[in-house]
Amino acid sequence: MTRQAYVDGRFLPIAKARVAVEDRGYQFADGVYEVIKAVAGEPCDLDRHLARLERSLAALRIPVPMSMPALALVVREALARNPIRKAIVYLQVTRGVAPRNHLFPRDARPSLVITVRRAPFPSDRERAEGVAVLSLPDRRWGRCDIKSISLLANLLAKQEAAEAGCREAWLVDEAGRVTEGSASNAYIVDSEGRLVTHPLGPRILGGVTRSVILELAREAGIEVVERPFTLTEAKEAREAFLTSTTSLVLPVTRIDDRVVANGMPGGTTRRLARLYAERSGIPEAATGLRERRSIASCRG
C-alpha cells in the first residue's frame, strides 16, 4: 500500500508530496497542528480535535483553511486512502507561503497538510509494568495552550529523557511544580484517592485525551482536583500516570530515581485505562494492565 498525503487540496503519494521552501511553517514554525487517533478508519474525538485546532489558529491569527465540517471530510478521506487498523492522523496548518519577513504577510493563504501512519501505541509491557519519567526544567514558551508546531524545547526534553532510559520527561516550573510532559499530560492519585492534574491555562496544552479522562473519572465517582502538584508530591503519590493521543493512559511507576508507591500500576490508573480503551474502541489496550511489579527505571 502506498501512503498518500493531502497537501493544499491534492492527495499525492507520500514520496511526491511537497511543501514550498518559503512556507512560514518551515521558516518560522508559524503554524499549528493536531494528532488524531483513528481505529478502523474512524477518527476518535474528531470534534474536540478540530475545536482545539480552531482555537489555536485563532490565537495565532491564522485563517482557517476551510470550514470545520469540510476539514472533517478531508480527514475521513485521508483515512479511507490510508487504510490502517490503528492509525494517527497528523494535521498541520501554517500561515502559508510568502517571502521571509517577520511581519504577517497580507495575502498569504494558509497551507494544510495531512498525513496518516500507524499509531505508535505503548507496548503491552509498558502498559502492564508502567514507565519511568525524568524530571526536567520547563523551558518552553509562555503559551503552551496553543498547539504550535514550534516544539524545540519539547523535543530536547524528550531526547534527554530517552537518553536516560525514560519514556517521557515531566517538566517542572520554577516553583517546583509539574506542569505536564514533553508530549503528554501528567497526573497523580494522592493519599486520599483523588485524581490531581494541572489546571488548564497558558502553562499546559489542554489535551483531548485529558478532557476525556477527567470526564470518565467524574462519571466513575473519582474525585478530580485540578491544581498544580509538586515534583515531591508526585514522588510520594499513591499512583501516577500520563495521557496523550498516542500514549493512551500509561502508568508511571518511577520518577527519576524514585519508585512510585509499590512500583506497580495502581487501581485508579488501571480502571481509567480500561474505561478509556473501551471508549476509544481499542479494548485490547487494557489487557496488559495486570498487577505485577514494575521494572521501569531510568537514570536521573
Classify residue 191 by burial, with Cβ atoms within 10 Å: 0-12, 13-18, 19+.
Answer: exposed
Distance of CA 124 to the CA centre of its chain: 19
What is the SS3 assignment for 100?
A: coil
d(CA 97, CA 94): 8
pTM exceeds 0.85, yes or no: yes
CA dihedral sign of residues 198, 201, 204, 210? positive
Distance CA 78, CA 90 (A): 10
pLDDT tens per residue, range 267-291: 999 999 999 999 999 876 665 554 4
* Per-residue model confidence as pLDDT tens digits over 86-103: 999 999 999 999 999 999
In angstroms, rounded to a whole number, what is the distance separating the alpha carbons of residues 277 and 286? 6
Residue count of the chain, please give it: 300
Instruction: Give the pLDDT confidence score for residue 282 in this predicted structure.
Output: 86
Closest by alpha carbon to 202, among 220, 176, 228?
Answer: 228
Residue of 16, 37, 86, 147 marked active site: 147
Q: Which residues contact 294 (CB under 8 A, 6 or more apart)?
A: 129, 130, 251, 253, 254, 259, 263, 264, 265
Q: How far is CA 272 from CA 22, 49, 214, in A?
A: 45, 21, 9
> How is residue 271 written as a grid cell?
480502571
Read off the pLDDT of residues 156-206 as tens digits, 9 standing for 90 and up.
Answer: 999 999 999 999 999 999 999 999 999 999 999 999 999 999 999 999 999
Burial class (CB in 10 A: 0-12, 13-18, 19+), 120: exposed
What is the arithmetic mean of pLDDT over 198-220?
98
Q: What residue ranges define each of the domains in the chain, with the CATH number in brackets?
A: 4-118 (3.30.470.10), 124-286 (3.20.10.10)
Output the CA–CA distances (angstroms, integers) from residue 220 to 59, 238, 265, 268, in the order listed.
34, 18, 18, 10
Question: Is 147 considered catalytic here?
Answer: yes
Q: Which are the contacts of 278, defined by CB distance < 8 A and separation ≥ 6? A: 286
Whether 295 shows a pLDDT value over 60: the answer reads no
